[in-house]
Amino acid sequence: MNVTLCLRIHGRVQGVGYRDALRREALRHGLRGWVRNRRDGTVEALLQGDESSVLAVAAWARQGPPAADVERVDARPAQGDLDRPYAGFDWLPTA
């Protein structure tokens, strides 16, 4: 079953390669969606694909790459426009 999950990652997650690492992990699991920095210092991601793969990447996000210091990850199902089908896995501009 395909699912779409939104993540907000808090901690030292900007300037440490977090977005690149999350994108690689998502692609390794065959996911679609996007990742971007937020002006408040968090990283936001939308993961879409097979439920087990989405959950695996969400679990990975709680640790992130070696240079990151993740404090917490807020996860919620996507709603509205965010729940549309995505193709590929993109970097979005900072929001």
What residues are labeled active site?
Answer: 19, 37
Positive or negative, the CA dihedral 41, 82, 64, 59 is positive
Instruction: For the chain, give the number of residues.
Output: 95
